[in-house]
Amino acid sequence: MIRALAQKEIRSFFASPLAWVILAVASLILAWIFLLQVDLFLRVMPRLALYPHEAGVTALVAMPLLRSATIILLLLIPLLTMRLISEERRQKTLDLLYSSPVRVTEIVLGKYLGLLGFLGALLALIVLMPVSLGLGTQLDWGLLAAGVLGLALVMAAFAAAGLYLSSLTEQPTLAAISSFGLLLFLWIISWAARGHGPGSHILRYVSLLNHFSAFMRGEVKMSDILYYLLFITLFLTLTIRRLDADRLEH
Amino acid sequence: MVELLIEAQNLTRYYGTRAAIQDVSLTLGRGEILGFLGLNGAGKSTTLRILSGALAPSTGRIAIAGIDLLNAPQEAKRKLGFLPEHPPLYPELTVAEYLRFCARIHGIPGKQVRSAVSLAQEKTHLTEMSRRLIRNLSKGFQQRVGLAQAILHEPEVLLLDEPSVGLDPAQIQGIRDLIRTLGTQHSVIFSSHLLAEVQSLSTRVIIIHEGRLVLSQELAALDAQRACSVHRIGLRRPPALRILEALEGVTHVSAQNDGIFRIEHQDQPEFPELLLREAVRRDWVPFTLSPERANLEEIFLSLTRGSDAIAPLPGAHS
């Protein structure tokens, strides 16, 4: 059941021009940033040779690329998630799912996994750029893997939040704007925690950005992974509860 | 005793404080086509959505083929096919893709999906359209895709919400033929606000008004009950109205166009003969005489006209 739902979601993505445009725009902008970073690296390379223990090509090209990718995806993922449930509400197709022998949990997981499938393709496109450098130079694979894992978790978290907000409304645009707002807010919430005031550690813990930064430094910590998994579980549960409530009282 | 495929008891559904339906009980036996009549907004869609499991009732119980819909929803829903008021279609998919998806969420095993899809397409005459995008289909074909979706898994019960709305006359005829054929293999409940449709398709009719059932009866019984208490007669040389009214057994006469008179009379089988004999004897030159069939329309209007008319009839299930 979950597989059928996920496959349908992927099929729907690739049947819509929106998804293709998003893939194209993300690739184009990130490729541009990638080229700028490579160019920068080539210019500073002679000086880097003097400090053998300093950052290499992975830290100077791949990591900034992944960091920029999070910002681009913060803008683009809400556009991908906005239609997931709101469109079903608008087209009144939810009754099909509700009247078939599928659990609400399966509906939500199916949609989410379908979305992750699509995002996996997007991630592969992004990761291929720094990996291509491996043809000509030595990469720090460990650092790169940490960065990619971080980016994957961030994408999965964005997707879960977007899915939930899409379940709240009939208007895809509304879902997109509110997801974007929520994600951006959670991204920059730690800006308020520069000092050591009361509660600042809470703000830092809640921030999506804070946990991602550790991955950028090559640190893979269980606590950060757990944060993202909790974040995803929270929003998926909220979505399930929202859809369950549909059938009950209004 | 006919096997009951749907047994719904005392369904009530509130939206906020407003009750969309109240205390609705109904049954559907195997092989029945049940016509579900009501004005727009009377609660037809709400009732059907509740029966399909898409909406939970505020109170009440539903059993589908003996399985409780609220306690064992997955199992019960396997026996149901539902066509909502708006066919639930994904416009970006082709007909075949859509039906394959529906087959899988209805729990048809992987190996049988292909054959189930092609069978459903055949039954709904969609085979030619199989590779077209649903977006590009006409309303009539979209309705058929919705119907194909509902019958894919060979459910024992079909719930069809206004299956012929928005179609042109030829398409309506097509859908009705289809429902009639489906009725031979499945039990069907279909809602409609078209009386003629219900009259021509169903074996039993229920009427809902302002959220309550006001009639549930076999159509045949309905016909017999009200048969032929009205006749229309055409007279070339008509007498004055009061002379017609004075005839034996006549309760009311109204004159219509072109010498046609509508005669209401006491229910006695020999009335047409007597009337005709009288007309010939007095040289009124009758040229046509026809019974006015028990008209669902009259019943419907009398039941839904004003709120004083909605006391449940004896035939209504309790």
Q: What is the mean pLDDT of residues B143-152?
A: 91
Q: What is the mean pLDDT of residues A180-201?
A: 82
Contact A1/B53, CB-based, under 8 Å? no
pLDDT at A102: 92
Task: Categorize the per-residue pLDDT at B311 as very low, low, confident or very high, splitting at 50, 70 and 90.
Answer: very low
Q: What is the mean pLDDT of residues B199-211?
A: 86
d(CA B44, CA B52): 12
Q: Which residues pair with B28 in a beta bridge?
A: B6
**Do A61 and A145 contact (CB within 8 A), yes or no?**
no
Does residue B212 register a pLDDT over 90? no
Contact B84/A1, CB-based, under 8 Å? no
Is B232 near chain A, with CB under 8 Å?
Answer: no
- Which of A160-169, A192-201, B170-179, B203-212 holds the top average pLDDT? A160-169
CA distance A59 to chain B (A): 42
For tokens 């970073």, name the residue: A37
Task: Categorize the per-residue pLDDT at B317 as very low, low, confident or very high, splitting at 50, 70 and 90.
Answer: very low
Contact A16/B92, CB-based, under 8 Å? yes
Task: Categorize the per-residue pLDDT at B228 as very low, low, confident or very high, splitting at 50, 70 and 90.
Answer: low
Percentage of residues in chain B with pLDDT exceeding 90? Answer: 29
pLDDT at B308: 42
Taking the CA atoms of residue A16, residue A19, residue A20 and residue A26 in that order, the dihedral angle to the nearest 10 degrees is: 170
pTM for this entry: 0.83
Contact B54/A99, CB-based, under 8 Å? yes
d(CA B64, CA B76): 6
pLDDT at B314: 42
Is B149 near chain A, with CB under 8 Å?
Answer: yes
One-letter amino acid for residue B199 of the chain: Q
Cβ count near A72 (within 10 Å): 18
Residue A173: domain span: 2-247
**Do B292 and B271 contact (CB within 8 A), yes or no?**
no
Q: What is the mean pLDDT of residues A153-160?
A: 96
pLDDT at B313: 44
pLDDT at B305: 64
Mean pLDDT score of chain B: 84
Task: Categorize the per-residue pLDDT at A24 as very low, low, confident or very high, splitting at 50, 70 and 90.
Answer: very high
For tokens 């409780």, name the residue: B68
pLDDT at B296: 66
Q: For residue B195, what are the CA distances in angstroms to A49, B205, B301, B314? A: 89, 10, 10, 21
Residues of chain B with C-beta less than 8 angstroms from the C-beta of A93: 88-90
pLDDT at A176: 94
Cβ count near A52 (within 10 Å): 7
Task: Choose among B54, B78, B101: nearest Cβ to A247.
Answer: B54
Does residue A79 register a pLDDT over 50? yes
Contact B101/A95, CB-based, under 8 Å? no
What would the pLDDT profile of B103-122 be if each residue is shown by its tens digit? 999 989 989 999 999 999 98
SS3 A171: coil
Contact A101/B74, CB-based, under 8 Å? yes
pLDDT at A167: 95
pLDDT at B226: 55
CA distance A107 to chain B (A): 10
Closest by alpha carbon to B101, among A80, A111, A85, A19? A111
What would the pLDDT profile of B291-302 be if each residue is shown by its tens digit? 776 566 667 776
Contact A102/B101, CB-based, under 8 Å? no
Task: Categorize the per-residue pLDDT at A207 as very low, low, confident or very high, splitting at 50, 70 and 90.
Answer: confident
pLDDT at A192: 74
Greater pLDDT, A43 or B218:
A43
Residues of chain A with C-beta less than 8 angstroms from the C-beta of B82: 95-96, 99
| Domains defined along chain B, listed by start | 1-79+155-226+295-318 (3.40.50.300), 90-153 (no CATH), 228-291 (3.30.70)
Task: Categorize the per-residue pLDDT at A137 as very low, low, confident or very high, splitting at 50, 70 and 90.
Answer: confident
Token output for B219: 């159509």
What would the pLDDT profile of B162-171 be if each residue is shown by its tens digit? 888 777 788 7
What would the pLDDT profile of A49-59 be if each residue is shown by its tens digit? 776 655 688 88
Listed in sequence order, the DSSP H helices in B240-318 are 241-245, 271-281, 296-304
Task: Categorize the per-residue pLDDT at B309 as very low, low, confident or very high, splitting at 50, 70 and 90.
Answer: very low
pLDDT at B310: 40
Percentage of residues in chain A with pLDDT exceeding 90? Answer: 68
Task: Categorize the per-residue pLDDT at A104 as very low, low, confident or very high, splitting at 50, 70 and 90.
Answer: very high
Does residue A244 register a pLDDT over 70? yes
The answer to which of A29-43, A155-169, B75-89, B303-317 has the lowest mean pLDDT is: B303-317
Greater pLDDT, A31 or B176:
A31
In terms of DSSP bridges, do strands B204-209 and B187-192 run parallel, antiparallel, or are they unpaired? Answer: unpaired
Greater pLDDT, B310 or A8:
A8
CA distance A141 to chain B (A): 41
Closest by alpha carbon to B93, among B54, B142, B161? B142
Interface of A with B in 184-213 (CB under 8 A): none
Task: Choose among B56, B75, B88: nearest Cβ to A247.
Answer: B56
pLDDT at A35: 94
d(CA B184, CA A111): 37
- ipTM value, please give it: 0.86
Q: Which residues pair with B215 in a beta bridge?
A: B207
Number of domains, chain A: 1
pLDDT at B171: 77
Task: Categorize the per-residue pLDDT at B124 as very low, low, confident or very high, splitting at 50, 70 and 90.
Answer: confident
